[in-house]
Amino acid sequence: MGKSLLVVESPTKVKTIKKYLGTDFIVMASMGHVMDLPKKSLGIDIRNNFEPTYDVIETRKKTVADIKAAAASVENIYLAPDPDREGEAIAWHIANAIGKKGKGAYRVLFNDLTKKTILASIAKPLKLDYDKYEAQQTRRILDRLVGYQISPVLWDKVQKGLSAGRVQSVAVRIVVDREREILNFKPEEYWNMLAQFEGPNPPPFGAKLFKINGMKAKIGNAAEAEALAATITQCPGFLVDNVEKKEAKRSAPPPFTTSKLQQEAARWLKYPAKKTMMIAQKLYEGIELGPEGSVGLITYMRTDSVRTAEDALDAVRKYIKDNYAPENLPAKANEFKVSAKAQDGHEAIRPTSMSHKPQDIKKYLADEQYLLYRLIWDRFVASQMTQAVFDQTIIDIAGANCIFRANGQVPKFPGFTVLYTEGVDEKDKDDDDSGTKSLPDICKGDSVKLLKLDKKQKFTQPPPRFTEASLVRELEDKGIGRPSTYASILSTIQERTYVELDKGKFRPTGLGNTVTDMLVQCFPTVLDLEFTADMESKLDAIEDGKKKRVETLQEFYAVFKGELDKVGGSRSTPAVPVDAVCDLCGKPMAVRTSKHGPFLGCTGYPECKGIKRITIADGNGGSNGNNNTAHGANENVPAVPVDAVCDLCGKPMAVRAGKYGPFLGCTGYPECKGIKRISNDQGDAAPKKPPVLSKEVCDLCGKPMAVRTSKHGPFLGCTGYPECKSIKKISKGKKN
């Protein structure tokens, strides 16, 4: 006896920690979660206060057995999974598995994997945090209730194998809603006037029309632009109406939170959120730095706090003093306001030591590790540097009852920008911005000469599609998810093919549109952004000990069950009938959707399985040459009006297709741009590819055998299936 056991999550941490603790400690890794709700059942006793049932994960049974064996031979047990809710749940599950049931095992939190932090944490261990564990349990139970009970509705209404998530489905809705804003956006024409003036002193400068007759300039069409241009060019003279000069300051940004790291890595390095977090995890757990061994280079990477420890502030200020001009170091450390929503349990993301300069350890890092580490380093150092200062000048030019405005901004003192500037999301920039870096020395009342006048037709632009960076920011701003979940949310909604990245921008797929429509219709509250954000706040309250798990679950389930009951047995969505009849039975055909795309299926299904392929019209009423067809269909059907009318003009609708899936478009296009979504049902009605017949016949019934496949490989099955279930092995080398 006498040795201590320390359990962490990742095996990578074991090597880093072992070298600091020596032979008195056994250090083991749990490999993540060791227990979870059962895979093949709900695992929640709804009638008994939502009591969960946890099973040891199959792939963790040996790990748990090894930890139990080690625990039996030591005096002290320290549980050191990550310092967040998921880590707390792992700690509780390990304690329960080794028979401690939350007692007799100490909890230690490592905000970074440095010797100082590790030894200090073990010297002052904590009790397991029951409230934090309860918050994690609540989140896990909520997600299971939603996923387990909504997914079957998706199978019936849309397509087998689909799944829904409490938070992920809301994220998809955000993307879908933005896409519809774009589709429904009606651009408005406007015109800009750009003038080039010359004053008493060089250089000539550009100015943009700002006001007309004292009102904000607004030119709506070419005729107005022509008339105004004529008036301006005929004006005998222009005078400087006002000159305003002022000093503007920009403060240094705070060190990284998880979301800000993901956003900046996406902007500067083009890293997806998932990749950013994988690299950051490795930097946190430890990198081999030659003779120094494994070293944790950054603090814990899942945080929404901008707080920095005092000793880290002292170290970075000394670094700035030793490496930059004196004017780059403020008189006292910069302070940053921590958001009211932030879980301030640990620090912002920063380097663990100012002695590990990026350029000094570059040879030990993979390129992507180096780039992310340097980004974190630069942001942290810049956060404690002085403000950037700019000289701003505004010049107003008057003439022809108009005011033209020129803006200029010249850097006066770079401050923190010598090291770091924040990235910006891609936006549709207005190329008419008349801001210049240098404006002439000019005074109020000076006469200026009009050298040139340009008219530019413009149209208002729809909101931009989300990038990874802007979607993370949107989730954070709306209170959807938490730092530890942003990367998995973005990854999951892409893996489920509900959204896709097109040139770095998120677009919903046809499946994403269909699923979102169905979920919003059937579960409006669960898919509501404010409701989801409020649930995140309640989870925070549970962690803070201000709210109880059972109470929160009861409140949620009362709403959820009400919506679930309304769906009830109504598990079919009416198909969209079209002006076509089945060749087999003469009944009307209807638009159906399968994983292979839209097709026409007989309304007499399942008695009649007649189908036809759809030739989908493009936005101009023709064929787009990219037909989504049902496999096995043997006939082309031209686009035909369906039994639905446009809500805008009353004309018939027709099946059309865009990049994001099939939809109903008004036959009055392009004069009318009315659209509707296509309801989806009978997802399994799409025909499969015909079986490949072999020369073999069934020994039981004499029918031909066909090549089939299973998880064990190809085999021969009777074409009389399911009446006849005869099968044969396929001999190697035998040709059928």
CA atoms within 13 A on the CB side of 382: 23
Note if the bond before 606 is cis, omega within 30 degrees: yes
* Euclidean distance between CA atoms 493 and 474, whole angstroms: 15
DSSP assignment of 135-188, as one string? HHHHHHHHHHHHHHHHHHHHHHHT-TT----TTHHHHHHHHHHHHHHHHH----
* Euclidean distance between CA atoms 264 and 261, whole angstroms: 5
* Euclidean distance between CA atoms 544 and 686, whole angstroms: 51
Give how far Cα 409 sits from Cα of 334, 350, 415, Å.
25, 32, 16
Give how far Cα 668 sits from Cα of 591, 639, 641, 645, 672, Å.
20, 14, 11, 11, 5
* Euclidean distance between CA atoms 669 and 624, whole angstroms: 15
Which residues, 6 or more positions from 622, have their beta carbon under 8 angstroms from its beta carbon?
none
Which residues, 6 or more positions from 320, have their beta carbon under 8 angstroms from its beta carbon?
328, 329, 381, 384, 385
* Euclidean distance between CA atoms 575 and 604, whole angstroms: 12
User: What single-letter amino acid sits at 17?
Assistant: I
The SS3 of residue 85 is helix
Torsion angle, alpha carbons of 596, 598, 601, 607, to 10: 40
* Euclidean distance between CA atoms 259 and 238, whole angstroms: 50
Sign of CA dihedral 405, 411, 412, 415: positive
The SS3 of residue 647 is coil
Q: Which residues participate in catalysis according to the annotation? A: 300
Strand boundaries in 253-401, DSSP class E: 287-288, 294-295, 388-399
User: What single-letter amino acid sits at 20?
Assistant: Y
Q: In what order do the strands lie in the sheet with 4-8?
A: 25-29, 4-8, 76-79, 106-107
Q: What is the length of the chain?
A: 736
* Euclidean distance between CA atoms 469 and 272, whole angstroms: 9
